[in-house]
Amino acid sequence: MTGCFGTAANRRWETRLTSALIVENATIAYGDFVAVRSASFHVSPGECVALVGESGSGKTTLARAILGLQSLKSGSIMVAGSPIHGASAHQSERVGIVWQDPYASLDPRWKVGRSIREPATLIRRTIDLDALMNRVGLEPHLAERFPHQLSGGQRQRVAIARAVALQPPLLLCDEPTAALDLSVQAQILNVIREMIQAQKCACLYISHDLLTVRFIADRVVVMSKGEIVEQGDTEAVFHSPQHPYTQKLLQAAPKLHL
């Protein structure tokens, strides 16, 4: 028995040492209402984990806690070995964020080159703007354009470039393709996947779109009513869902052809 407990403890310690994001028994409450209850999962460098569930399941609330914008009632969240206790001036060095609507997340008064450089400017660092824009599939001359002069896909590439500019250990993508045409979605997912592979960063991909989840995620964490009800390798969850809620979620997506 001692050996079994020791092995479990060793696995937990190894997870702490190797994971870019660790969420342990995180509970978030608004007064008497518990929005997230005892959530636990981790994301390793070079891995993409999808957090899925219907609207109101607690995905966004948990994401806000990871960003330090929402306090925990109990439990802990660690990014690259450092606990999250509120927003930090150096947050962009730890977490890069790609929001759902790239137009809303970019300052319309700024040329996009300034927006990409913003995280580095805030901490007085410099980046190779041309090289970064090339990596996300943007011509460097577009740095002189304003957001309204770009297509939706180009704006989201700008947002990705800004998110990875400081090579943070964690990339958080909140419905990054929801505002894009279907023809552009796969391109943006490929850019995100290339950034994960090139920078060996961890990615938490938040979405209700199971088609994009299956395309990009290595593992899936399923939330319902504030609780994690199932998690596992993407193909295992999609082919053999164990929880009734996960089964219902997959059945509601007929185009998956399970």
pLDDT in tens, 177-212: 998 988 899 999 999 999 999 999 999 999 989 999
Domain count, the chain: 1
Q: What pTM value is reported for the model?
A: 0.91
Q: What does the pLDDT look like over 14-42, one tens digit per residue?
A: 555 679 999 999 999 999 999 999 999 99
Closest of 41, 44, 40 to residue 19, by C-alpha: 44
- CA distance to 2, 43, 115, 199, 209, per residue, from 15 (Å): 20, 9, 35, 20, 28
Q: How far is CA 30 from CA 26, 34, 44, 169, in A?
A: 14, 6, 30, 30
33 lies in which domain range? 2-256
Q: Residue 87 is part of a domain; what is its CATH number?
A: 3.40.50.300
